[in-house]
Copies of this chain bind each other. A is one copy, B any other.
């Protein structure tokens, strides 16, 4: 194993061997790395009482090959039928591909893979070439009662695609990744569900060449997983991009969708607004593969004018003033920021360490101005849109921040620094885990009034655990509320210990009255807590829709959205291992 330097930490800088466990759990580009910087390492050492000696020998690095001898338990008759349907070359049965299609980018996935635990694999991975292929597979699985899962780009953090009942998984991104239509009059693009984010954005940014358009466009949707996410995944989980405060969540961006369900093909109507009964798009979005297989999506697109972007950042004296300022901006009716991200005191302190401000002369000056550690809060963001709009929004935000006694950091380009690492921060997870440090996130949605209590209760729960870092930010705000995004760092290697922490946080969130997710979705991870949050009458609607679309429960079965869980499973929570 190559080491980047003789001084620890000895971060791994080697692409994972093809076919290895590490190649499955390593984030993003196999050649991509972003190591924790000195500020982060110092924090880790301080918090967990670690020394250089603890950062010499990486552990459980998953460099070994995935065993290739897990036999597919699907009857050969079915495999033959699938080969007939989608083509021989589009049916895979090796353990590596089956694991890849079932495991996501969640901490639980990485922990299992580092320990060599392979469970809940589909018997085969099928790559359909068209809606007709998907129809054939859905019909067959429905009549043969074969569970059917979906793989888009594999970045779920909620065990969304985990094939807990075996069966087959559809790999939507291998073939069904193309643009079907671009309509500049309507400012829409129609793509197949397996299209990956970066390819969509590349085409839109080059719309004059790609589509003979009059100008370049942007999709406006940039989740942290952007580089490794598919449009279908965005849609079925109700995802949000980091610029959602301006562009909206995916449910604000989707104009229509096509699904293949056991009942047939469903095409939603596709008008910006109408009054023709319930909103069918809003019924299907968030169905997480339980109602049908998403095959294509029509999305709104936006002007791509990066030259208009204005960035700003501020340091507030305390959490209360910072929250009030963010709320005032969101309710100000002068236009909305695009990225808008407020860190709580603990996250602010970590950020100041990572941006090498902690302990500098500038830091001393800030403290003298009464911006104190574990009190001060960092707000960063940007404005997008027409140039006059971004100018106005940035000016107004500066005025609001000033009224709340914030110190402007705009000249220090904090937002630019954040932008540089916005898609690469997840790479650090592998480095930390190599030395037994786990970093994970959970998030929820709240009204403004709920912010203080939910924040305090979740922090109280996490901080009751010794040596646990708990950072929080608001990253998607609205006039009526926001999200709370919790990042916790702990020295844990044991799966049950991890789950005790994670489930405790989910429990605390639910009891505090928050929505169980703002944009990660529910998947199988949070399924057990969904009914307790939305209430049984709403859960009954979900069940009625499930019964309508998928009466034989072949679509993403085994606890997704808490749908097919009995009370016993709900109580046990961690009940997925077969």
Interface residues of A (CB under 8 A from B): 183, 185-188, 237-240, 249, 251, 255, 261, 263-280, 282-288, 300, 302-303, 305, 327, 331-335, 384-386, 388-389, 392, 395-396, 445-449, 476, 478-482, 515-522, 530, 533-535, 537-538, 540-542, 544-545, 547-548, 561
Asked if residues A266 and B545 are in contact (CB atoms below 8 Å), the reply is no
Contacts of A522 in B (CB 8 A): 275-277
A268: which B residues are within 8 A, CB to CB? 538
Of B267, B270, B334, B479, which contacts A272 at CB under 8 A? B479
Complex Cα gap A395–B448 (Å): 33
* A332, B305: Cα distance in complex, Å: 11
- Write out the residue numbers on chain B whose beta carbons fall within 8 Å of the beta carbon of A389: 333-335, 392
Tell whether A276 pairs with B534 under 8 Å between CB atoms, given A255-B480, A479-B300, A540-B263: yes
CB-based nearest B residue for A389: B334
The interface residues of chain B lying within 8 Å CB-to-CB of A332 are 386
Q: Could you tell me if A276 and B535 are in contact, using CB atoms closer than 8 angstroms?
A: no
Once the chains are docked, how many angstroms separate the CA of A389 from the CA of B267? 38
Once bound together, how far apart are the Cα atoms of A151 and B541, in whole Å? 26
Cβ-defined partner of A385 (8 Å) among B300, B333, B542: B333
Closest B-chain residue to A273, C-beta based?
A: B249
A516 to B276, Cβ gap below 8 A?
yes
B480 x A188 contact (CB < 8 A):
yes
Are A272 and B480 within 8 A (Cβ)?
yes
Known: A279-B251, A545-B278. A518 touches B273 (CB 8 A): yes
Q: How far is the CB of A533 from chain B (nearest CB, A)?
A: 7
CB–CB B278/A517 < 8 A = no
Q: Closest CB-CB distance, A19 to chain B, in whole Å?
A: 34
Given that A269-B533, A445-B274 are contacting pairs, would A187 and B302 also be in contact in the complex, using a CB cutoff of 8 Å? no
Given A274-B515, A278-B284, A300-B479, 16 extra CB contacts under 8 A: A185-B448, A185-B449, A187-B480, A249-B273, A274-B518, A277-B288, A277-B542, A278-B282, A283-B541, A302-B333, A332-B386, A334-B385, A334-B386, A335-B335, A541-B548, A544-B545
The answer to whether B280 touches A286, judged by C-beta atoms less than 8 angstroms apart, is no
Contacts of A305 in B (CB 8 A): 333
Closest beta carbon of chain B to A484's beta carbon, Å: 11
Q: Which residues of chain B have C-beta atoms less than 8 A from A396's C-beta?
A: 386, 388
Chain B residue nearest to A279 (CB atoms) is: B282
The complex places the Cα of A276 from the Cα of B240 at a distance, in Å, of: 13
Q: Cβ of A447 and Cβ of B540 under 8 Å apart?
A: no
Q: Are A534 and B277 in contact (CB under 8 A)?
A: yes
Are B277 and A286 in touch, CB under 8 angstroms? yes
What are 12 A-B pairs with beta-carbon distances under 8 A? A185-B448, A186-B481, A266-B535, A272-B445, A274-B516, A275-B519, A276-B533, A277-B286, A277-B561, A278-B286, A279-B285, A334-B386
Alpha-carbon distance A261/B476, docked complex (angstroms)? 34
**B334 x A388 contact (CB < 8 A):** yes
Q: Is the CB of A517 within 8 A of B275?
A: yes
Q: Which residues of B contact A395 (CB under 8 A)?
A: 388
CB distance from A485 to the nearest CB of B (A): 12
Inter-subunit contact B530/A275 (CB<8 Å): no
- Which listed residue (B185, B334, B476, B541) contacts A280, Cβ 8 A? B541
- Measured CA separation A265–B535 after assembly (Å): 11
Q: In the complex, what distance in Å separates the CA atom of A541 from the CA atom of B396?
A: 45
Q: Is the CB of A265 within 8 A of B537?
A: yes
B300 touches A480 (CB 8 A): yes
Q: In the bound complex, how far is the Cα of B563 from the Cα of A150, in angstroms?
A: 33
Distance to closest chain B CB from A100 (angstroms): 24
> Which residue of chain B has its CB nearest to the CB of A239?
B275
Looking at A271, A277, A482, A545, the one whose CB has the most chain B CB atoms below 10 A away is A277
**Which 6 pairs of residues, A with B, have the shortest CB-CB distance?**
A282-B282, A544-B548, A272-B478, A274-B515, A238-B275, A334-B386
Once the chains are docked, how many angstroms separate the CA of A388 from the CA of B332? 11
Chain B's closest residue to A515 (CB) is B274
Give Cα A337 to B464, complex, Å.
Answer: 51
CA distance in complex: A185, B447 (Å): 9
Q: Is the CB of A278 within 8 A of B287?
A: yes
Partner of A535, one of B267, B302, B548: B267
- Tell me which residues across on chain B come within 8 A of A535, comparing CB atoms: 266-267, 269
Task: Take A278-B284, A333-B385 as given contacts and tell me if A266 and B537 are in contact as well, using a CB distance cutoff of 8 Å.
Answer: yes
Beyond A238-B275, A386-B396, A517-B275, is A187–B331 a contact (Cβ under 8 Å)?
yes
A272-B480, A303-B333, A333-B303 known; A537+B263 contact, CB < 8 A: yes
A551 → chain B closest CB, angstroms: 11
Cα(A480)–Cα(B272), bound, Å: 6
- A553 CB to nearest B CB, Å: 16
Residues of B within 8 A of A534 (CB): 269, 276-277, 280
Q: In the complex, are the beta carbons of B187 and A479 less than 8 A apart?
A: yes
The residue in A267, A270, A334 that gathers the most chain B C-beta atoms within 10 A of its C-beta is A334
The residues of B that contact A183 with a CB separation of less than 8 Å are 447, 449
Is B541 a contact partner of A545 (Cβ separation < 8 A)?
Answer: yes
Min CB distance A190 to B, Å, is 12
